[in-house]
Structure 1
Amino acid sequence: MSTALSLFTRRDPFDDLMRSAFGPSAWPESVRTDFMPAAESHRDGDDVVVRLEVPGIDVANDVTVEVVQNRLVVRGERRDDRDEQTEGRSIREIRYGQFERTFTLPSHVGADAVSASYDKGVLSIRVAGVYAGTEPTRITIAEGPARNELE
């Protein structure tokens, strides 16, 4: 991933080890980490598009997208409205809970450059102009003795 937009992912290596050895139900429900949507980003011209998988979430009520200083912050919650006692689940692999994903923006990008849309379980966030003006500028090297401009 480019330095133009940084992605921070919360991971617990010990939790990964326990899951690989004993399966997804190795930890009691209270010890497991909350739901964390998968994310990806790609360049589209001068823009960056960030996509998060958030199926089953009411994005109108349970997701916020904000720019805080130079950070793009996506917060939300996948709610479990089912009653376990009446529905009788025997396994539980779907994760529920609150989440927060943070992406660092370049200093020249403000909130007005960010737009978001939701379709078929995927939240897409476009950050316009991330790569605008990032092409290198070649400096001409003059020949001859150097001039001291401070004199």
Structure 2
Amino acid sequence: MRRWDPFSELREMQYEMDRLLDRFSRDVPAATEPFGGWIPAVETYKKGNDVVFKCELPGVDPKEVDVTVDETGRQLIIKGERKTEKDAKDEDYIHRELTYGSFERRFTLPEGVKTDHIKAKFSNGMLEITVPVPEIGTKAKKIEVETPMMIEGEKGVKKAA
């Protein structure tokens, strides 16, 4: 005898919905992608005094990647394009999941970043941007919270001297 799982039907329904949405997004890419482009995955993490942006760009020619900082010095902009292969444009696809086109990602930088010290390198389809972050003069500090204290023999609450 098999035990009834009340959530098995929900999991099956979720699987079917995921399959349907996945199929829809492949069949109608312009409806699911901003401006018909694609959005590469990016990880951001701290490494010592640096902030590192790792951007996944498989199939992108490094010459098609542009990394800039805007005029305020506070926005890191990554732009690029993944182009279709010339011989594949006229193919009669049976199944197509790869996305092509231009992309743009923007990230807010911490205050005081010296933009001339930012470095970018591209290797094996990964773009790594290292942003040195200046150490801020103030450190975290615990602030003591005062509380009123009862003094024996007094009717009211008074602050202890």
Regarding TM over 0.5, the answer is yes
Q: How many residues align?
A: 121
What corresponds to 1:24 in structure 2?
Answer: 22
Q: Any unmatched runs of 5+ in structure 1?
A: 1-18, 142-151
Q: Is residue 110–residue 133 contact of structure 2 (8 Å, CA) maintained in 1? A: no
Per the TM alignment, residue 28 of structure 1 is displaced from its structure 2 partner at its CA by 2.2
Match of 1:53 in 2: 56
In structure 2, distance between residues paired with 1:56 and 1:47:
27
- Gaps in structure 2 of 5+ consecutive residues: 1-16, 145-161
Match of 1:39 in 2: 42
Alpha-carbon distance between aligned partners in 1 of 2:111 and 2:65, rounded to the nearest angstrom: 25
Query: 2:125 matched to 1:121?
Result: yes
Q: Deviations over 1:39-67 (max 9, x none)?
A: 0011110001100000110112x110000
Structure 1 residue 109 and structure 2 residue 113: aligned? yes
SS in 2 for 1:24: helix
Match of residue 65, structure 1, among 63, 67, 73: 67
Tell which has more relative contact order, 1 or 2 (C-alpha 8 A, sep 6+): 1
Query: Structure 2: how far apart are the matches of 1:134 and 1:41?
Result: 23
Whichever structure has more strand as a proportion of its residues is 1
Where 1:25 maps in the other structure, the secondary structure is: helix
Matched-pair contact (CA < 8 Å) for 1:116–1:126? yes
State the TM-score, normalized to the length of structure 1: 0.69
Using structure 2 for the length normalisation, give the TM-score.
0.65
Q: % of aligned pairs identical?
A: 31
Secondary structure at the aligned position of 2:105 is classed as strand
> Which structure 1 residue ranges, 4+ long, deviate > 6 Å from structure 2?
none
Distance across 2 between alignment mates of 1:22 and 1:104: 35
Please report how far the alpha carbon of residue 89 of structure 1 lies from its aligned counterpart in structure 2 after TM superposition: 2.0
Q: Are the equivalent residues in 2 in contact too, given 1:67–1:110 (CA < 8 A)?
A: no
Contact 2:78 2:105 in 1 (8 A): yes
Higher helix share: 2
Aligned 8 A contact 1:24 1:93 in 2? no
